[in-house]
Amino acid sequence: MPGLRGSASLTVSDLDTAVAMGSGDVPVLATPRLVALLEEATVKALAGHLEPGETSVGMRVHIDHLAPTRIGRLVSADALLELVDGRRLTFSASATCDDREIASASITRVVVESGPFLARID
């Protein structure tokens, strides 16, 4: 399973900005939206590789948001599954805009059975 890759992309809109998400007061790509894009790439890496009834949930994200991105720009995210430790999956991920790295991250997801996972939520 290590070596699986996934990618996702986003054209930054007004709804993706720090202003819109309440995470800042500048109209540039919000860090929370960038995290969601990187996580989307990890989910896509796992597509078709989990057992029926299983899914993965986010556990940990360590991100360095390296550069701002304006509205209208295309951001591409890539994730690589590097480590499988039981049910914990650790990915390296990065995001680019115009071949410039705007973020790097380490993302850990945990494989769970969907039914029991949802049943224990209050």
User: Where in the sequence numbering do the catalytic residues fall?
Assistant: 31, 39, 65
Q: Could you tell me which of 10, 44, 43 has the C-alpha nearest to residue 29?
A: 10
Give the torsion sign (CA, 13, 71, 16, 74). Answer: positive
Q: By three-state DSSP, how is residue 20 classified?
A: helix
8: CB partners within 8 A, 6+ apart: 37, 38, 40, 41, 44, 76, 77
Q: By three-state DSSP, how is residue 28 classified?
A: strand
